[in-house]
Amino acid sequence: MFLKPSFQDKQLTLGTRTGQQGSSLVIAIFILVVMLLLGVALTRVLSTSSETIAYEVVGARAYQAANIGLQRRLTELFPLNETANYCNGDDIAGVDPDGNAIVINNDYLTSISSVPGLNTCQVVEMQCTDFKVDDVVYYRLTSTGQCGVGDDTVSRVVEVEARSL
* Residue 163 CB-density burial (10 A; 0-12 exposed, 13-18 middle, 19+ buried): exposed
Buried b (16+ CB within 10 A) or exposed e, 4-24: eeeeeeeeeeeeeeeeeeeee
Per the confidence metrics, is the pTM higher than 0.75? Answer: no
The pLDDT score that the predictor gives to residue 30 is 92
Mean pLDDT of 102-122: 69
Confidence of residue 112 (pLDDT cuts 50, 70, 90): confident
Mean pLDDT of 49-56: 83
Mean pLDDT of 112-124: 83
